[in-house]
Amino acid sequence: MRTTYQVQNLKCGGCARTISNTLSQMNGIKDVIVEKESASVSFEHQSADDASLIKEALKKMGYPTVDEANGISLKAKSFVSCANGKLGR
The string of DSSP letters for 5-70 reads EEBSS--SHHHHHHHHHHHHTSTT-EEEEEETTTTEEEEE-SSHHHHHHHHHHHHHHT--BTTS--
Q: How far apart are CA 51 and CA 44, in angstroms?
A: 9
81 pLDDT tier (thresholds 50, 70, 90): confident
Domain boundaries, the chain: 2-86
Q: Which CATH number fits domain 2-86: 3.30.70.100, 3.40.50.300, 3.40.50.1000, 3.40.190.10?
A: 3.30.70.100
Instruction: Sort 49 into a burial class: Cβ within 10 Å, 0-12 / 13-18 / 19+.
Output: exposed
Indicate the pTM of the whole model.
0.91
What pLDDT is attached to residue 39?
97
- The answer on pLDDT for 89 being more than 70 is no
How much is the pLDDT for 83?
84
